[in-house]
Amino acid sequence: MKPIPYGLSGYKQIREDDCYYIDKTRYIPQLEATGKFLFFIRPRRFGKSSWLTVLESYYDISRSEQFDFFFKGTDIYDQPTSEKNAYLILKFNFSAVNPQPDIVEDSFQGYTDNCFYFFGMKYRAWLDDDYFTMMERQKTPHQKLRFLLNYVGLKGHRVYVLIDEYDNFANTILTTSGQTAYQNLTHGAGFFRFFFNVLKEAVDQVDSGISRMFITGVSPVTMDDVTSGFNIGKNISLYAEFNELLGFTEQDVIDILKHYNINSAETLTLMREWYDNYRFSIETKQTMFNTDMVLYFVEHFLRLSRPPNDMIDQNVKIDYGKLRYLVVLDKRLNGNFSHIAEIVKTQGTQATRVVPSFPVEDLIKSENFISLLFYFGLLSYSETNRLTIPNQTIKQLMYSYLRRGYQDVDVFNVDIWRLSNLVQDMAYQGEWRPVFQFLADEVEKQTSIRDYLTGEKVIQTFLLAYLSVTDYFIIRTEEELGKGFVDLYMEPFLAKYDHLQYSYLIELKYLTRTEFTEDKLKEKLNKAKTQLNQYATDTRIIKRSRGGQIIKVALAFSGWELKAIESVEETPSRN
């Protein structure tokens, strides 16, 4: 069996080690036909860096004798384009730039100096001695870039500019140091904006050496700020024809599992639920799996003969800090945090439009913030073209953002270790009451949270965030069961914890503080119990519990207070 290229982004190393590889070279002619200057956004760990190394290997004029090594057996090998091995490659990866505001400009200069130096060394056979003499006289990155492109153009050569992680250090500065520091880079005379001005200027010049450019990142915000919306080329991020350029289709995943003799239908179902359902264009129905997560899963499965201990690779997680700037203002949660809470509650939004680009000052606008969540991979198009949370991995991240948001502004801060232990007892011992009592007691003590807990749906979202502190359960909300929609269904994660014996159906009822009476409380609880008995008859619940016990719990709130915790008679499921 071939080595798994988990953690590898270099195409050369993948070929040298004969790793398992999903061939995407069929897109090369299509990209050439689409445009010369292209901009492509995808979430973290979707294979952007790896794809740039494929382009580098294919177009590099200095690698023409290695074409067989790189591409024999791929789609492009038998019918290469006329531009094969026709370019001098100028490549940048801006994740290598130190984002500390006081040294970022020096770090940028030092990094680009290295890029320009090794460009000269690599292509010395195509450059004259005066190139090196003149390059030494250029002092700043934009001066060196302008000189390089003009010189190569004068010599009759062509440059393909590849920029990976174009927005990496700029995004970090925005989220850690604020908008002013970010705008110093990207607006006015900012050095980063000036660097892109040189690229834009070169594109417009007849004799410039730049002939093609491919830029990748995770959001369009910085590009809008440094180039006024990438008006030097095409943003192909939402094009249906490139939906499958990065990521794996389900057939790809089936082929991978078959290659490594992992043929369980249950395994594929598990991977679908945790890693699938990314659609990057409203005009296609094909869903995609996250590249990194599939390789992470397979690598761990082969080592452990079971799913990994943590279904989520830490490398995929979008750090809360990337969103903190957008959801917290003056130690208060703003409207964007409310959007996240609403998305968690409904598992998506009613929005269907993704904005192609927008400047940083417009991020506070609802449609732009929702679009940013789409670009980050936190939302994706569903079959009905609604923007929804794509899978369990992203659900777990969203739940954690809610907890971090509450904690960040001192609204609600609980002992997560203790809560995790209580949920563990709930999973293994069936001791569910202490979990809800613990949360109710903490709300009683921490008065700041009370202003947020108004209404059944808000409380439902609150419980989702805190019941998900462990992965013993896959928590589903508003799932259709027994001709109704259960508020919370805690399905035991049996694919990982096969000894769990308890699953939970939870129905919430809510009374305002002014309408509360004992009679109305009793009426609400009776209704909840009727609904729970109805949900429990659903054959899917019985099947998923695998003979374990289905516990039905009714919770009644008045305002923020938990007024009643009652269980319906516990019903053993049938095999």
- Read off the pLDDT of residues 18-77 as tens digits, 9 standing for 90 and up: 999 999 999 999 999 999 999 999 998 899 999 999 999 999 999 999 999 999 999 999
Task: For residue 380, tell me if it sits in a domain.
Answer: no
| Distances from the Cα of 148 to the Cα of 61, 88, 141, 156, angstroms | 17, 11, 10, 12
Task: For residue 292, tell me if it sits in a domain.
Answer: no
Pairing of strands 332-333, 328-329: antiparallel
**In the numeric block, which tokens belong to residue 164?**
């990976």
Residue 216's nearest CA partner among 160, 166, 169 is: 166
The DSSP string of 272-309 is HHHH--B---TT----BB-HHHHHHHHHHHHHHSS--S
**pLDDT confidence band for 205 (50 / 70 / 90):** confident
Give the span between the Cα atoms of 47 and 246, in whole angstroms. Answer: 6
Give the pLDDT mean for 305-320: 85
**pLDDT confidence band for 571 (50 / 70 / 90):** very low
Give first-to-last CA distance, the chain, whole Å.
38
Give the span between the Cα atoms of 537 and 310, in whole angstroms. Answer: 32
pLDDT of residue 363: 84
pLDDT of residue 160: 98
Q: What is residue 529's three-state secondary structure?
A: helix
Instruction: Check whether 575 has a pLDDT greater than 80.
Output: no
Give the pLDDT mean for 148-167: 95
- 18 dihedral zone (left: phi>0; alpha: psi -120 to 50; beta): left
Instruction: Check whether 318 has a pLDDT greater than 90.
Output: no
Residue count of the chain: 575
SS3 content of the chain, % helix, strand, coil (to 5): 50, 15, 35
- Residue 447 carries which DSSP code? G
Task: For residue 268, tell me if it sits in a domain.
Answer: no
Looking at 208, 242, 276, the residue that finishes a domain is 242
Q: What is residue 2's three-state secondary structure?
A: coil
Instruction: Check whether 329 has a pLDDT greater than 80.
Output: no
Task: For residue 327, tell me if it sits in a domain.
Answer: no
Angle between helices 265-275 and 392-408 (to 10 degrees): 40
**In the numeric block, which tokens belong to residue 199?**
């690229």
Residue type, 361: E
Looking at 216, 242, 268, the residue that finishes a domain is 242
- 161, 112 Cβ separation under 8 angstroms: no
Residue with tokens 């694919």: 495
Residue 551's nearest CA partner among 484, 490, 498, 478 is: 490
What is the extent of the structural domain holding 529?
413-575
Residue with tokens 């506070």: 364
Q: What is residue 200's three-state secondary structure?
A: helix
The DSSP string of 92-117 is EEGGGS---TTTHHHHHHHHHHHHHH
Residue 467's nearest CA partner among 520, 399, 537 is: 399
Query: Distance from CA of residue 467 to its chain's centroid?
Result: 22
Residue type, 108: F
Q: Return the H-helix or E-strand segment holding 148.
A: helix 141-154
- Residue 348 carries which DSSP code? B
Count of domains forming the chain? 2
pLDDT of residue 230: 65
Give the span between the Cα atoms of 80 and 3, in whole angstroms. Answer: 27
Q: What angle is formed at CA 129 by the lines to CA 128 and CA 131, rounded to 5 degrees?
A: 75
Residue 160's nearest CA partner among 52, 237, 71, 8 is: 52
Over the stretch 511-570, which tens digit does the pLDDT of each residue have? 999 999 999 999 999 999 999 999 999 988 888 888 889 999 999 999 999 999 999 875
Give the span between the Cα atoms of 238 and 245, in whole angstroms. Answer: 11
Instruction: Check whether 391 has a pLDDT greater than 60.
Output: yes
Give the pLDDT mean for 323-333: 73
Looking at 218, 242, 266, the residue that finishes a domain is 242
- 393, 274 Cβ separation under 8 angstroms: yes
**pLDDT confidence band for 198 (50 / 70 / 90):** very high
**In the numeric block, which tokens belong to residue 350?**
């009613």
Give the pLDDT mean for 188-216: 90
